Amino acid sequence: MLSSADFQNRLIRYMPEQKPEKPDKAEKDAMIAEIRRLLKEKNAVLITHYYTDPEIQKLAEETGGFIGDSLEMARFGAGHSAETLVIVGVRFMGESAKILSPQKTILMPSLEAECSLDIGCEPEEFRSFCEQNSDRTVVVYANTSAAVKALADWTVTSSIAVDVVKHLAQKGEKIIWAPDRFLGDYIKRNTNADMLLWNAYCIVHAEFDAAKIEELKQIHSDAEVLVHPESQPEVIALADVVGSTSQLLKASQQRSARKFIVATETGILYKMQQASPEKEFIFAPTSSVSSGISCEADCPWMKMNTLQNLLEVLQSFNNRIELPDDVIKRALIPLERMVNFRK
Ligand code: 13P
Ligand code: SF4
């Protein structure tokens, strides 16, 4: 099982060295025009996560591509006819696209865009944990490597995790859950399932600070609190709505409140504000967690995706996601269960 010290050391090793530089307006416009041209010429489509830079989300929208949560990205890519999928997010999203569409070319602007959950769950370590508890059904979060998925019975995203575990628990199955211990704890409390939890967490969502959110609620007593379930239990306890990024976006549109305190990554603001321009969104305050890394609700790896490296990958077709055939074959089993679950 992962120790806190090992996790912290690995996080430091994988952290991006610096924040990308911002181009000026003329450079930006020229890059956007060239990206649009290359997408058409090369029969490629942009599939982006809500946490990426708003300029990239806008470009995906305007070029027939897609913005969504990790489950929707996987479903969109699997169903799209383009020969090349450009996955703008973090590495596990590119790997999921490759597993679901092995015949397609899968490109990513940066292959170093990691995720703290994936970093915190190495395949060999996880394999021995599964072997020690071989009577249990293995359910892993989508935020894992292809090699970890290849060890699993089920893959889930935050939008379906509770429903899938409930479904398994009703059949009497005991569960191994990895890697997010806070999401695992949330699922356990909402299903009463017998679950063994792995010990990693998301360094972005774990930073939201319950005491500071309570103070903010007192100042904005008319605001509702929207929380992603990768947050700590005390933060989840303050939520009016707990859900995946898409579920939180939907709640911000459908609920009658005019003001929201949002405990998820800052990139979501682009779609929330676009869908409800008359509403006010305030980001939940953060404080440092034990990792010692400060994110302030900005995922450092999601923000490695820039117009610059998006353009470069469309020019070079480098940064392809390639996976061994046996890993694709085995990881497809839990991943297909995920994309086909109650569609
Ligand atoms: P979603 O499944 O909500 O897109 O979450 C992915 C993620 O990385 C959250 O931090
Ligand atoms: Fe991973 Fe957290 Fe970044 Fe999502 S926000 S990609 S869970 S590190």
Per residue in 139-162, pLDDT (tens digit) is 999 999 999 999 999 999 999 999
Nearest Cα to Cα of residue 299 among 110, 75, 122: 110
Q: For residue 313, how many other CB atoms are within 10 A of its CB?
A: 24
**Residue pLDDT, tens place only, 77-93:** 989 999 999 999 999 99
Angle at which helices 181-191 and 161-170 cross, to 10°: 50
Task: Give the pLDDT of residue 19.
Answer: 76
Task: Give the pLDDT of residue 291.
Answer: 62
Ligand 2 proximity of 143 Cβ (cutoff 6 Å): yes
Contact 109, 318 (CB under 8 A): no
Ligand 2 proximity of 339 Cβ (cutoff 6 Å): no
Query: Ligand 1 center to residue 24 CA distance, Å?
Result: 30
Half-sphere exposure of 261 (CA within 13 A, CB side): 25
10-residue mean pLDDT profile of the chain (343 residues): values are 87 85 91 97 96 96 93 89 96 95 96 96 96 97 97 95 96 97 97 96 95 96 97 97 95 97 96 97 85 81 96 97 97 94 75
Task: Give the pLDDT of residue 294.
Answer: 79
Nearest Cα to Cα of residue 48 among 14, 94, 101: 94
Alpha-carbon distances of 223 from 161, 238, 239, 283, rounded to whole Å? 27, 12, 11, 11
Ligand 2 proximity of 183 Cβ (cutoff 6 Å): no
Ligand 2 atom nearest to CA at 180: 7
One-letter amino acid for residue 307 of the chain: L
Ligand 1 atom nearest to CA at 49: 4
Ligand 2 proximity of 108 Cβ (cutoff 6 Å): no
- What does the alpha-carbon distance between residue 184 and residue 165 come to, in Å, rounded to a whole number? 10
DSSP E strands in 125-254: the ranges are 137-141, 154-156, 175-178, 195-197, 224-227, 241-242
- What does the alpha-carbon distance between residue 111 and residue 94 come to, in Å, rounded to a whole number? 9
Ligand number nearest CA of 117 is 2
DSSP state letters, 247-279:
HHHHHHHHSS-SEEEEES-GGGHHHHHHH-TTS
- What does the alpha-carbon distance between residue 66 and residue 291 come to, in Å, rounded to a whole number? 33
Which 3 state secondary structure label does DSSP give 300? coil
- What does the alpha-carbon distance between residue 58 and residue 61 come to, in Å, rounded to a whole number? 5
Ligand 2 atom nearest to CA at 90: 6
Nearest Cα to Cα of residue 180 among 248, 255, 233: 233
Task: Give the pLDDT of residue 290.
Answer: 57
Contact 189, 197 (CB under 8 A): no
